[in-house]
Amino acid sequence: MYKEVNIMIIIRKIVLCLVVGLLLTTNIAFAKGEDIKGSNDHPLISRYPGAVIKYYDMKAFDKYTVPLGKIVEGKLSNSLQLEGKITRIQYNAPQNRSTLEIYRNYKMTLENAGFNILFTGSGRELGRFKKWPDVVYKTLNPIQGDYKYRLRGEDDSQYYLSAKLVRPKGNIYVSLYISQGWHKWPVIQLDVIEIKPIEKVMVAEKAEAIAEKISRVGHAAVYGIYFDTDKAYVKPESEPLLREITRLLRYNRELKLYVVGHTDNVGSLDYNMKLSKRRAEAVVKVLVFEHGVDRKRLSACGVGLLAPVASNRTEYGRARNRRVELVEQ
């Protein structure tokens, strides 16, 4: 409950601080036109007063490259690969506002709301001759249609920042680029990435498929045994796969298994080794006491993060690595 209250406070800060802080400035003009049909501000981040939405795209799950460094030889020197809900909004800001003023207000608002600034850059340090928008918004994170070209303004007027907000329900990243567009209206490109863990990567495999894998390579990674974060209690939705493992052992009377827990790389090696062992022991306990499997046929082991099957750099990869494997003894 306390964490939820804190999150609501953060949301109010983001939505209200930008508006209240900027309305203290007089003579705010408004960009020409209306918001495009079907567009909305992101619920966590309000628009700059007087700005108008000209481009909007939201995907429930996609990938995004967040810049963390300058462009060197046509490529980002450092970046972060993310996956999650992606919201992309391009605004026209009021013509009588400078890109510097808009940038500093966004930066101040994000910092006040608890965001950690990961990287900032401005002017020609972001590259000359439209390099930044071409690399970031044309190649890495393509914007549809002609809207990517609207970001190709004056080199000296461009500002960028990336930021991160840590939340219990999933971290939020912001990628913000502001430039003086070729039409002389400041253009704001606001991209928000909401990390959403993928726990259920695959449906429960049938006993026959598990048996075939073990017969062929000596082990089988099974997806469908679920735990809460940092916990070792087997969740009820794991039941379908547990029934299939029970069937596997029932029809293969001589088969004995190591039940091996695996984790992602979040946390220390020692912590993950212990967590993976506790999770394996929890699976064995459920199979023995709730499904009637002979305890002598099962041994629990944990190898933590030492045997990944995918990159831990993405949430999808980390979800693949959080697994249980059945290894023939």
**Cβ-Cβ contacts under 8 Å for 65 (sequence gap 6 or more):** 76, 79, 80, 81, 82, 136, 140, 141
pLDDT at 18: 52
Residues paired with 121 in a beta bridge: 160
Which residue ranges make up each domain of the chain? 2-195, 207-328
Mean pLDDT of 177-189: 87
Q: Which helix (H) or strand (E) holds 159?
A: strand 159-165
For residue 161, with 0-12 CB atoms within 10 Å meaning exposed, 13-18 middle and 19 or more buried, which class applies? Answer: buried
pLDDT of 125 strictly over 90: no
Candidate CATH numbers 3.30.1330.60, 3.40.50.1820, 1.20.1090.10, 2.40.110.10; the one for domain 207-328: 3.30.1330.60
Query: Please, are residues 88 and 39 in contact by the beta-carbon 8 Å criterion?
Result: no
DSSP 160-188: EEEEEE--TT--EEEEEEEEE-TTSSEEE
* Longest CA–CA separation in the chain, Å: 82
Mean pLDDT of the 176-187 span:
86
Residue 319 has a pLDDT of 84
Strand order in the sheet with 323-328: 219-222, 323-328, 257-262, 298-302
pLDDT grade for 50, boundaries at 50, 70 and 90: very high
The Cα–Cα gap between 206 and 86 comes to 34
Dig out the tokens for 266 from the structure.
């979040």
The answer, yes or no, to whether residue 5 has pLDDT greater than 50, is no
The C-alpha atoms of residue 194 and residue 88 are separated, in whole angstroms, by: 12
Q: Is 261 exposed, middle or buried (0-12, 13-18, 19+ CB in 10 A)?
A: buried
Query: Quick one: pLDDT band at residue 318, thresholds 50, 70, 90?
Result: confident
Q: What is the pLDDT of residue 12?
A: 52
**Which of 51, 33, 31, 32 shows the shortest CA–CA distance to 41?**
51
The answer on pLDDT for 117 being more than 80 is: yes
Least confident of 9-13, 54-58, 180-184, 219-223: 9-13
Q: Is the pLDDT of residue 43 over 50?
A: yes
Q: What mean pLDDT value characterizes the chain? A: 86
Q: What pLDDT shows up at residue 148?
A: 72
What is the average per-residue pLDDT within 140-159? 81
Mean pLDDT, rounded, for 36-57: 93
- Whether the predicted pLDDT of 14 surpasses 60: no
CA 188 to chain centre: 22
Cα 24 to Cα 47, 105, 250, 306: the distances in Å are: 15, 12, 73, 55
CA–CA gap between residue 186 and residue 326 (Å, rounded): 58
Closest to 48 (Cα-Cα) out of 28, 27, 66, 26: 28
Query: What residues contact 62, with CB distance under 8 A and at least 6 apart?
Result: 83, 84, 86
Decide: helix, strand or coil at residue 251: helix
Pairing of strands 71-72, 75-76: antiparallel
This prediction has a pTM of 0.58
Q: Which two tokens stand for residue 42?
A: 């992101």
Band of pLDDT at residue 85, cut at 50, 70 and 90? very high
> What confidence score (pLDDT) does residue 184 get?
75
Confidence of residue 268 (pLDDT cuts 50, 70, 90): very high
Looking at residue 22, its pLDDT comes to: 45
Please, which pLDDT band fits residue 90 given cuts at 50, 70 and 90?
very high
In the chain, count H helices and then E strands.
7, 12
End-to-end CA distance of the chain: 46
